[in-house]
Amino acid sequence: MLRILIPVDGSPESMAAVRHVLTLVGNGLRARCVLANVQASASLYEVVVARDPAVLDRVAEAAGRELIKPAQQLLTAAGVAVDVEVVHQGDIGPALLDLADRHGAQAIVVGAGAAGLADRVLGSVSFDLVRDARVPVTVVRVAD
């Protein structure tokens, strides 16, 4: 059974990656997926207002799980086993690579779109994963 890491941020691009994995599963691939979300670091304002880092962690965890929920529902409905990971803050690329290592991922499937000039060829997170991952990375493009 292939263990696949799928970064999910709620965007159409990340959902395209999920649909790609579902297509592979529909064609006979046996897979277990790790859905991963990396939350942005709290702003200075949020740190000052919250005062308690545990509050920020709970908010980040809830936000990440909410963004992952549609992907989790699609995969679960198709009978695919799913693990969920939310990283409360950090650099997205390195955090995803760390999750891939910790979960023993054998592949990464990531969505990419053309959000701006710098991302026309490959998004920055996708580029980081392709460049630095120790496992194969499939980039699923979303049409403009």
Mean pLDDT by 10 residues, the chain (144 residues): 94 93 95 90 58 67 85 96 85 91 96 58 77 94 75
Show me where the domains of the chain are located.
2-141
- The C-alpha atoms of residue 137 and residue 144 are separated, in whole angstroms, by 21
pTM of the model: 0.85
Helix (H, G, I), strand (E, B) or coil at 85: strand
Amino acid type, 137: V
CA nearest 113: which of 8, 14, 23?
Answer: 14
> Which H or E run contains 87?
strand 81-87
Amino acid identity, residue 85?
E
2-141, CATH topology level: Rossmann fold (3.40.50)
Q: Give the torsion sign (CA, 21, 4, 12, 131).
A: negative
Q: Which helix (H) or strand (E) holds 72?
A: helix 53-77
